[in-house]
Structure 1
Amino acid sequence: MPYTNPVVRGMNPDPSICRAGDDFYLATSTMNFYPGVPIHHSKDLVNWRLIGHCLTRPAHFQPDQTNGAPMIYAPTLRYHDGVFYMVTTNVHGGGNFFVTATDPAGPWSDPIVVDQEVFDPSLLFDTDGKVYYSRRGSFEHKDVIQAEIDIQTGKLLTEYRSLGVGMVSDDAEGPHVYHIGDWYYLMQAEGGSRFLHMETISRSRSPWGPFEPCPHNPILSQHEAWWHPVRSLGHADLVEAADGTWWAVFLGTRHASYDSLTILGRETFLARVDWVDGWPVFDKQAMRELSIDSPTPTLYPWDPEPSRDDFHSENLGLQWTQLAVPTPGVLDLRERPGYVRLRGQAGFTPAGSAFVGFRQKDLTFTASTLLEFEPAGDNEEAGVSVFQTSAYRYDLRVTRRDGRRVVSLHKTVGDLTHESDLYIAPDGPLELRISGDPAAYAFAFRAAGASDWTPVGAGLTQLIAAEVASTWTGIFLGLYSTGNGQTCQAPADFDWFEYNS
C-alpha cells in the first residue's frame, strides 16, 4: 500500500533503526531537550508509536558547563542476543557512551562511557562475535575511525584506524558499518547537515577497508529536486524486514513552498531500498514527495493518538519534553490532581525553566489549553509558547500590570523583542489558543467556556525558523511559567492541552 512521509512527525532527526523478530524500533536525537532519545515501535515501518526514552534520569547525563542542559547528538540503536544497545554523544559533557535494555521501552542501564572525542558513534555486531565501534574521527580530519570494542565494559580492544573521509566531500559524519553478505558497507552522511546534506556508501571485503565508493554516490540527496517539499535529506540507517525487503530511515525537512524555511525541524522519513549489482538504490520518489507508491509490508496501524491530554496521570505523558533535567519543584502533577502545575524559578537556566513542550507535527494546526493563574506581581507570567529556542519564540502570556491581570503577545527574535497591546483578562480561568499555518502563528484567548475568542496578535513562521535561529531543532508548543528573575509565588495550573491538525 502507498504510505505518507514523514513516518515520525515533528522534531525527530538522525534516526537509527533495528529489528527484533517482527518488530522494528527507532531512536532519534533530542539535542538539548529532556528526556533523551525517544524510542518508537512499529510492526510495519510505516505506523510508529512512542513507547519510551533511553535517557530518563540524571545519571544518564554527565555534569556539564551549561546549567544542566544536555546536548544529545545522533544515536545508533542495535539489537543483539536479546539486548538493545543505544550509543550516542552528550557533547556538553559525558562524551560517547552507550546504555542497554532488554525492553526497549525501558528502563535503560546507567551509561558506559567509551571515549570523549567528537560524535556520531555506531556499533556493528559481526557474525564472528567481534563488535566494532565507529565514529567521526575529529573536527580537523573529518574522517571516520573504527576500533574493536568490549561491549561489556566499553573498553577499546584495538587502536583506532581510519576508514577514510567522505566519498564526495571531505566532511563525513553519522557513519554506520554493516556486514551484508560477503561485503562490509560503510554508509555515512556528508555535505553538512542542512541544504547539501546527503548519504554516501562504499564497500570492502574487510571491516577495516580499503573501501571502494559506490559508482552512483550520493545514494540519497535532494540535489535533483530542490523545488520539492522534501529537503536536507541524509543521516540514514538501513534495516532488513522479515520478508527480505530492505528499507532506510533518514532525516529530512518538510516545506510548504519553494521559499519556505524549516519550521517542524528535521523529521524521520522512510524509503524502500533495492540492491543492484551489490549496491543499495533508494526509492527516488521518497526523496521528493510526501506520498509514496512503494509497496509496504502488511500494515498494522496503532490506535490514533489522543488529541487531548487532561493530565490525569501522576507523570507527564511520553509526548512531553522539557529543556533540561528538571529542577525539583518546577513541575508537579500531584499537588493538584488533574492539572500540571508549573512554578517559575528565579534563575534563567534550562534546568530551572518551568516549561513543558509538545512537538509541532503539522504545518497547519490548532493548539489550546486552559490556564488558572493569578500572578502575584508584575514579574510573574505564564502562558503558551511557540518555542524554537529561548532567543526565538512567541509567548502568549498572562501577567499583571498596574494591579490588573492582562494578556499580551511577546515576540523574541534574536536580540529584538516586541510586545503587543495589553488586553484586560476576564476573571477566572482562561483558554489560550495558538493557530498555525505555513505562514504565521495567530494567538487568541477567552474566558473558560466563552464562545468568542479575542485575537491578540500573530508572528511569522519564517522569523523563528531553524535556519534563522541557527539550531538543529524544531518548533515546540510549550506551556510555561517564569518569575523573570524571581521565584513565582503563584503557581500556574494547566487543566488540559489539546492539539488538532
Structure 2
Amino acid sequence: MTNGRTSRSSALEETLTGPNFSTSRRDALAMGLSAASGIALPAPASALVKVETIEPCRSSSKSMIVARGVDGQRLADLGNGRFLNPVLAGDRADPNILKDGEVYYATFTSFNFYPGVVVWHSRDLINWSPIGPALTRPLGSVYALDIAKHQRRYFIYIPVRVPPVDGVPPEQPFRTYVIHAKSMHGPWSEPIDLGINGYIDPGHAVGEDGRRYLFLNEGMRVPLTDDGLATAGALEKVYDGWPIPEEWEIEGVYLEGPKLLRHNGWFYMFSGEGGTAGPPTSHMVIVARSQSIHGPWENCPHNPIVRTASRDEPWWSRGHATPVQGPAGDWWMVYHGYE
C-alpha cells in the first residue's frame, strides 16, 4: 500500500534558509530518518481507539506502542508527544499539502474511486480528519493533483486519465481540469477543462511578474489567465531535471510532480524522478532553484534529497514530495512510500 510520510530534512532546511546548496547528502539522509521517528506535537493528541505493540524494525532498537483507528489503520500519533510514520496510512499516493494560516489541507491521488479528491485537514501535520470529496462527477482516473490558494479563492488542478479521444495523445491519454471554491470545505465548482492534453501532475505557481502558471511533468509549463481557469499561452519546456546516475536501479527518468515554493527571493521546484512502479530504489525527490519563475533552474548538488538507497530499508520508493512549513516554523516534506 502507498503511504503518506512526513520527513524533516536538513538539506531542505539549508535549501530554504541558506545562501547556497551546501548540506551534505549524508546529513540529509540522517536527519530525515532520525526526525521521522518522532517530534514534539504542538497540539494534544486525538482519541486513540486500539493500542498494540510494534516490534523494533531495522531503524529502531525499541518496541513502541501504537494505536489503531476505527478501520484498523495505524495511527501516527503515539500519544506521548511523538509520532510514527506514516502520518496517513493506506493508499495515499502523491500527497499534496496546502498551509492556510494555522490549518493544513491535503489531497491525494484518488484514481477511479468516486466521489474522489477527498480533502483532509489538520493543525499539526500528524492528526488528520477528512472534510469530504471535492469531485463528485466521474471524469476518469484522477492522478497527482495540486491545491492552490490565490486571492482568497481555492483551486484544485486535477489531471485525469481518459479514454482515447480526439486531441488526446493515445500514449498519454490525459486531460487537466480545475475546480474552485471560496472555502476548502466547498461547495466546489463544476470541473473546467483547461485544454491541456497529454500531461499530468500540475503544480501551480505565481511568478515575480504576478502571472499564474502551471508546471507539469516532463519539465513543461503553461501560463494561466488571471483567474486561473484557462490557459493563456502555449506549453513550453523549462526544466530538464536532474541527471540520475546510470548505475542506479530505477524504473526510468519520469520527471514529474513539480511543486513550486517561493522563499527568500528564490523559487524552489521540488520534483519526483525515477518512477513509482519500478524497483524499491527507483523513486526520489530532487530540487532545483531559480531567482526567476522563468529560470534558469540550478539543480541542488546534493540531489536527491529523499530516496530509498537500498531495498534493505523499511520504506521503499520514497518520492513525490510537497514541502511544508510546520506549526513551529520549521520545514518538512510530506511524501509517499511503500512499507
> Considering the TM-score relative to the shorter chain, is it more than 0.5?
yes
What secondary structure is seen at the aligned counterpart in 2 of 1:3?
Answer: coil
Mapping 1:98-497, distance limit 5 Å? 98-114=178-194, 115-126=196-207, 128-136=209-217, 143-152=218-227, 154-169=229-244, 170-194=253-277, 195=280, 196-223=282-309, 225-254=310-339
Shift, 1:221, TM fit: 0.5
Shift, 1:54, TM fit: 1.4
Q: 1:229 to 1:151 in 2, by over 3 A?
A: farther
Conservation of the 8 A alpha-carbon contact between 2:215 and 2:222: yes
One-letter identity of the residue aligned with 1:144:
G
Shift, 1:100, TM fit: 1.0
Shift, 1:173, TM fit: 0.8
Q: Which residue of 2 aligns with 1:25?
A: 105
One-letter identity of the residue aligned with 2:238:
L
Conservation of the 8 A alpha-carbon contact between 1:231 and 1:252: yes
Q: Which residue of 1 aligns with 2:158?
A: 88
Q: Going by fraction, where is strand more abundant, 1 or 2?
A: 1
Q: 1:72 to 1:84 in 2, by over 3 A?
A: same
Mapping 1:37-76, distance limit 5 Å? 37-58=117-138, 61=139, 70-76=140-146
One-letter identity of the residue aligned with 1:253:
Y
Report the identity percentage. Answer: 32
Q: What is the alpha-carbon root mean square deviation over aligned residues?
A: 1.8
Q: Which residue of 2 aligns with 1:7?
A: 87
CA distance in 2, matches of 1:10, 1:249: 15
Residues 76-126 of structure 1 show CA distances to partners (whole Å, capped at 9, x for unaligned) of 112223222111111115710111122223221111221122211110134
Shift, 1:31, TM fit: 0.9
CA distance in 2, matches of 1:42, 1:127: 30
Q: Which residue of 2 aligns with 1:310?
A: none
TM-score where L is the length of structure 2: 0.66
Shift, 1:231, TM fit: 1.1
Shift, 1:146, TM fit: 1.1
What secondary structure is seen at the aligned counterpart in 2 of 1:4?
Answer: coil
Conservation of the 8 A alpha-carbon contact between 2:161 and 2:175: yes
Conservation of the 8 A alpha-carbon contact between 2:134 and 2:188: yes
Q: Which residue of 2 aligns with 1:270?
A: none
Q: Which residue of 2 aligns with 1:425?
A: none
One-letter identity of the residue aligned with 2:254:
D
CA distance in 1, matches of 2:328, 2:225: 32
CA distance in 2, matches of 1:161, 1:237: 23
Q: 1:151 to 1:95 in 2, by over 3 A?
A: farther
One-letter identity of the residue aligned with 1:158:
G
CA distance in 1, matches of 2:323, 2:215: 16
Conservation of the 8 A alpha-carbon contact between 2:159 and 2:176: yes
One-letter identity of the residue aligned with 1:101:
A
Gaps of at least 5 residues in structure 2 are 1-39, 41-81, 164-173, 245-252
Shift, 1:33, TM fit: 1.3
CA distance in 1, matches of 2:150, 2:328: 19
CA distance in 2, matches of 1:16, 1:151: 23
CA distance in 1, matches of 2:226, 2:135: 19
Residues 149-191 of structure 1 show CA distances to partners (whole Å, capped at 9, x for unaligned) of 1152633223323122220344301112222111111211000
Residues 375-424 of structure 1 show CA distances to partners (whole Å, capped at 9, x for unaligned) of xxxxxxxxxxxxxxxxxxxxxxxxxxxxxxxxxxxxxxxxxxxxxxxxxx
CA distance in 1, matches of 2:149, 2:88: 21
One-letter identity of the residue aligned with 2:239:
G
Residues 171-229 of structure 1 show CA distances to partners (whole Å, capped at 9, x for unaligned) of 30111222211111121100011330001011111112111110110011011x42122
CA distance in 2, matches of 1:152, 1:112: 12
CA distance in 1, matches of 2:98, 2:143: 18
Residues 412-438 of structure 1 show CA distances to partners (whole Å, capped at 9, x for unaligned) of xxxxxxxxxxxxxxxxxxxxxxxxxxx
Residues 256-294 of structure 1 show CA distances to partners (whole Å, capped at 9, x for unaligned) of xxxxxxxxxxxxxxxxxxxxxxxxxxxxxxxxxxxxxxx
What secondary structure is seen at the aligned counterpart in 2 of 1:19?
Answer: strand
Larger radius of gyration: 1
Residues 44-90 of structure 1 show CA distances to partners (whole Å, capped at 9, x for unaligned) of 001101111111135xx2xxxxxxxx211001112223222111111
Q: Which has the higher contact order (CA 8 A, sep 6+)?
A: 2
CA distance in 2, matches of 1:101, 1:156: 19
Q: 1:36 to 1:203 in 2, by over 3 A?
A: same
Number of aligned positions between the proteins: 237
